[in-house]
Structure 1
Amino acid sequence: MTLACPLVGYIRSLAMGSLWVYNGCMVNFNLRLPDDLHEAIKAAAEREGRSRHGQILWYLRRAVENGERRSAQEA
């Protein structure tokens, strides 16, 4: 794993015109996907106007937020 730490943040455009600003380090992480999952992510990214990378980040962030919300409700 390697870290990419840009000196300046960057803006990624997401669906519906919203913006995501990131100013920190990112971990370079290789992930192997089954062909069917890759195709589903690719199709969703095209539909939503995101890159495949952006679509995967969107899915992961949403899953983490939902998990945190469920944990808070159980507490």
Structure 2
Amino acid sequence: MAVVAVLTFQSTWNDFLWPLIQVRSNDMRTLQLGLSVFYQENSTQWNLLMAAVILMSIPVIAIFIFGQRFFTDGISAGAVK
């Protein structure tokens, strides 16, 4: 159950298309939609974009670190014949 929770959190956190369709106001944008504002056709501010990406990945990395033992326990349990 913990592995499913971690994977579900990760897929929900990285969702782009569904919030793009549903959100109508700029105040309710998700982080992924906010990142698309940094990317422009003529001038992309790469330093700000990369800083935002690193800050956005911190919660996913933290959840994975705390749930990592469940991954290794599940792999170990499945490998026993």
Q: TM-score with structure 1 length normalisation? A: 0.31
Larger RCO (alpha carbons 8 Å, 6+ apart): 2
**Bigger share in strand:** 1
Q: TM-score with structure 2 length normalisation? A: 0.29
Work out which of the two has the higher radius of gyration on C-alpha atoms and give 1 or 2. 2
